[in-house]
């Protein structure tokens, strides 16, 4: 099972599945922790574990646990199996479509941006509006919904007329599916799950802005990709140092290959880059190499 899990996680063009796996693993961890601490009559220990992930509503508590601005978006309450189920289904459907057009890196970026935007709006509302401040007597918020809303809205902004076939409803354009979700969250912003619904709206807003900015050539999530690439490089094997020397004898000049041509290995690398990051991530030289290779087919 572990080998199957690793293979599924490491497949290319698979960021939506990777995010789902992370969410499910953390959910199972919290479930196991809840059961064990309950049996041991050590509920306080579970409360501490839950607080490591949950983002509190009040700033005075948040400044003691600032990492929860991101961890809350990878955890779900142990009793909320339907919560994580619907979140992960939406992430799979919309995330898979998003990756087809914009690649892995941008999906992860919009997910993280959605989590951050949802958490920031949640904190702002509960610490600045008396109505919500008076209702802040709960331990904190968990759930991937804000991040998933960002993915959904980003996808619907990119492909508003793309159609999903829904049980009992038939073909429905995704812009209408997303609109229904947003309206429900807006209504729920004064309900029992006000904090969660406010975070949904923050995620939805950043999802829209993110895609609109991409369409004019601005990538708001570039810093997230750079940070993750830097972390990956720390764990990547370092290439062996090659020692070279320059000959003192003159050699006949060799005919160099044009920078616009490429070997099959280079073309494969370019195609892998498109799969991971989208066509727009290619440099001018890479696009030229790909174009010239296509003419030879």
Q: Which residues pair with 55 in a beta bridge?
A: 141
Look at residue 192 and give its three-state secondary structure.
coil
Best CA proximity match to 196, nearest among 138, 282, 268, 276: 138
Choosing from 16, 76, 83, 200, the catalytic residue is: 200
Choosing from 16, 76, 145, 185, the catalytic residue is: 145
Tokens of 174: 């995704």
d(CA 96, CA 170): 20
- Read off φ and ψ for residue 110, nearest 5 degrees: -70, -30
Is the CA virtual torsion 222, 223, 225, 226 positive or negative? positive
Best CA proximity match to 79, nearest among 46, 126, 45, 120: 46
Examine the residue annotation and report whether 200 is marked as an active-site residue of this protein.
yes
Examine the residue annotation and report whether 258 is marked as an active-site residue of this protein.
no
d(CA 3, CA 95): 24
Angle (deg, nearest 10), helices 194-215 and 145-158? 30
In a 13 Å sphere around the CA of 169, the CA atoms on its Cβ side amount to: 10
Residues catalogued as catalytic: 145, 200
């Amino acid at each position: 099972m572990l080998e199957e899990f690793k293979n599924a996680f490491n497949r290319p063009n698979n960021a939506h599945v990777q995010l789902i796996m992370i969410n499910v693993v953390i959910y199972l961890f919290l479930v196991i922790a809840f059961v064990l601490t309950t049996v041991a009559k050590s509920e306080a220990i579970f409360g501490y574990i839950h607080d490591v992930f949950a983002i509190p509503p009040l700033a005075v508590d948040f400044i003691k646990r600032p990492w929860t601005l991101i961890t809350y978006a990878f955890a779900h309450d142990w009793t909320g199996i339907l919560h994580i189920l619907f979140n992960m289904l939406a992430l799979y459907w919309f995330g898979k479509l998003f990756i087809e057009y914009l690649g892995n890196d941008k999906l992860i970026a919009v997910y993280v941006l959605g989590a951050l935007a949802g958490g920031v709006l949640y904190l702002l509302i509960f610490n600045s509006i008396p109505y919500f401040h008076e209702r802040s007597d709960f331990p904190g918020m968990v759930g991937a919904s804000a991040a998933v809303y960002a993915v959904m809205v980003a996808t619907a902004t990119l492909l508003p007329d793309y159609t999903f076939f829904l049980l009992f409803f038939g073909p429905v354009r995704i812009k209408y599916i997303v609109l229904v979700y947003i309206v429900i969250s807006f209504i729920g912003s004064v309900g029992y799950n006000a904090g969660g619904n406010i975070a949904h709206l923050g995620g939805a807003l950043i999802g829209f802005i993110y895609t609109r900015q991409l369409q004019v050539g601005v990538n708001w999530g570039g810093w997230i990709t750079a940070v993750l690439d830097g972390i990956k490089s720390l764990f990547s094997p370092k290439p062996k140092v090659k020692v070279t020397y320059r000959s003192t004898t003159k050699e006949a000049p060799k005919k160099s290959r044009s920078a616009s041509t490429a070997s099959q290995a280079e073309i494969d690398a370019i195609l892998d880059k498109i799969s991971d990051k989208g066509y727009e991530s290619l440099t001018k030289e890479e696009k030229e190499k790909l174009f010239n290779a296509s003419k030879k087919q």
